[in-house]
Structure 1
Amino acid sequence: MEDTKSKTYNLFVTLLEGKTLTLKFTAPDVSASSIKNRLLEITKIPLHHQRLVTGTRQLKDDSVISCSSDVPYFPTVHLLLRLVGGKGGFGSLLRGAATKAGQKKTSNFDACRDMSGRRLRHVNAEKKLEEWRAEEKERRLEKNAEDFLKNLAKKGKKGTGDAEAEKYVAKYRAESERCVSEVLDSVKEAVSGKRKGPAKKAVAQSKG
């Protein structure tokens, strides 16, 4: 029977920059504190800043992960950094606010962080930006259609305005011609009246 101590068990650790580091152990069981000490030697990241996650479970210092002798590979571990925050972080504060008397339950968790340490509002903003870029072609078509309809509306209004202006000009010309005609008639009457005045005076003197 082969001695298990002579075997080598591999542990893959995903680092912050996305690279994968392989750690070798001689035992099928290894604690999180041992992994952190090995990572401290390689990455120089202090122990109190390291946060180890495997799957959806965060490993505490006394946590132990195991592998079978048939498959000499441990579950993949992700190395993250601890985030500085208040008591319990924003997530705990928001959840606690919903339990207080007289307060409504909150549904806004944008201040919380996901498993990689990113704010949920930043993740959601990236998703919205990708959707906005995907709909860019449709927005251009809608903009072209709106511009086309606006141009048609402007042309229609312009034609109506020209017709009304022509009617106004024609009416103005007719009124002007009528006024000029009346002025000429008045001048003619005045001139003819002055000419008749001296003749009547001469006739009256001859009779006297």
Structure 2
Amino acid sequence: MHQAIVNLVGGHAPICISFDQGQDATIYDLKERITTLTKVNRVNQSISTMGGQLLTDEAFMFNQQQEGPTIFNMSLRLLGGKGGFGSMLRAQGGRMNAQKTTNFEACRDLQGRRIRTVNEAKKLQDELDALPERERERREKTQKKIEEGLKGVEQKKYRFDDTQFLEDREQMVDNVKSAVGSLLKKQQSKQQKKKVVTAVSFDMFDDEEDSEEEDNSDEQEVSEEEEVKSSNKRKRNDDDNNDTKSKKKTTNKKRK
């Protein structure tokens, strides 16, 4: 005898159904026995194995070599359907597969870190490792520039064979020297003439002073004779002479 244990829905206890040893029982027979026991219509029953595989009515329940009871799960069919939702999901899945991306930086690794953070840490470490090498290259470039600057530019030597240019150059230099010499001579002659004129002017002033002294001596003689004649006239003449002397001195000073 074969036994089938069926787990019912709704929290009901499972039921045990027995079949004869030689009988080839099918799922259809199992559903008929369940209908008689639970009053659930065979059409609304859905039988599946413990692994979740759905069984049809024509499938056999037992294996001839199987020992012990066979366990089944019973569920009820639901009204309605997917209504094209499955095809929509399949189409959406196709579109999602077409738009494949290679950017997985927002994902996390096994340690729970963002892949973006891990990649940035690697880049930073690479930059730090390459920093001494870049610094060495920069120093080498700077040293090379300094050495090239110290060497300087090699001056090319040119041979000048234009004799006419050299002759013209010498002639121009001679003309400049002669012009400068003549100008200096003219300036010296002008200075000598100025010295002569000043010397002549000083001599003229000296002659005028001598003539004034002679006139003064003559007047003094006349005044002495007049003093002999009369004292009154002498006094007057002395006053006049004093006035004239003072005037002449002022004029001489002005001339000087």
TM-score range, shorter chain: 0.3 to 0.5
More helix, by proportion? 2
What TM-score, normalized to structure 2?
A: 0.33
Q: Which has the larger radius of gyration?
A: 2
More strand, by proportion? 1
What TM-score, normalized to structure 1?
A: 0.39
Q: Which has the higher contact order (CA 8 A, sep 6+)?
A: 1
